[in-house]
Amino acid sequence: MPEAFQTTFANSKTSFDNKLTQFTAAEQANTNGAQTKIDALNNIHTDLMEMALDGQEIFKNDEATKKQFIFEQVLKLYAGNGAQGYKGKVITSEITGAPIKDAKITVLGTVHSTLTNAAGLYQMQNVAHANNQTITAEHPNFQTKTIPGNSVAIGVMSTLDFTLTPNA
């Protein structure tokens, strides 16, 4: 064993132990921060539930107002109507505007897809808020068209039209 090995090993072990102590302390602080957030959210939930119950008691004779103090109703008001997604039209050419029935519109990488109706119209609701989504339109008689870089904003139906080229 080389003469400097013992010293090099001791120095490396000390350095490792110091880094391990720092890592453990940081990990513990992170866990404590998460628990603080959980406790704060639980306190907010408790306060909200108490206010809801108070509102239901105060307005027990006014059914319409009383409903506004039900937790699920508050969530619906906050979350919106869930109508966010995509809508649009699929046609054969911009000149004729002939609609394409039963074209399949798909948000790639998700479970969201739908078919166009006889007027070539489609609507996909409840698509999660996201940026940079790729949408495809396909039909057996036409070439598939892919449009990348689409976004869904909370509570907004984004319009995305497609013009498909017939297969040769």
| Ranges 40-54, 89-103, 143-157: which has the least confidence | 40-54
The least confident of 1-5, 78-82, 131-135 is 78-82
How far does CA 51 lie from the centroid of its chain?
29
Quick one: how far is CA 28 from the chain centroid?
30
Which whole number is the average pLDDT over 70-75? 70
Report residue 115 as tokens.
């078919």
Does residue 45 register a pLDDT over 90? no
Predicted local confidence at residue 147, as pLDDT? 95
Q: Can you tell me which residue has the tokens 């007027």?
A: 119
CA pair distance 26, 33, nearest whole angstrom: 10
> Token digits for 35?
């628990």
pTM for this prediction: 0.51
End-to-end CA gap in the chain: 77
Q: Give me the residue label for tokens 């078919």.
A: 115
- Mean pLDDT value of segment 33-53: 81
**Residues contacting 104, CB < 8 A, separation 6+:** 113, 114, 115, 136, 137, 138, 139
CA 112 to chain centre: 13
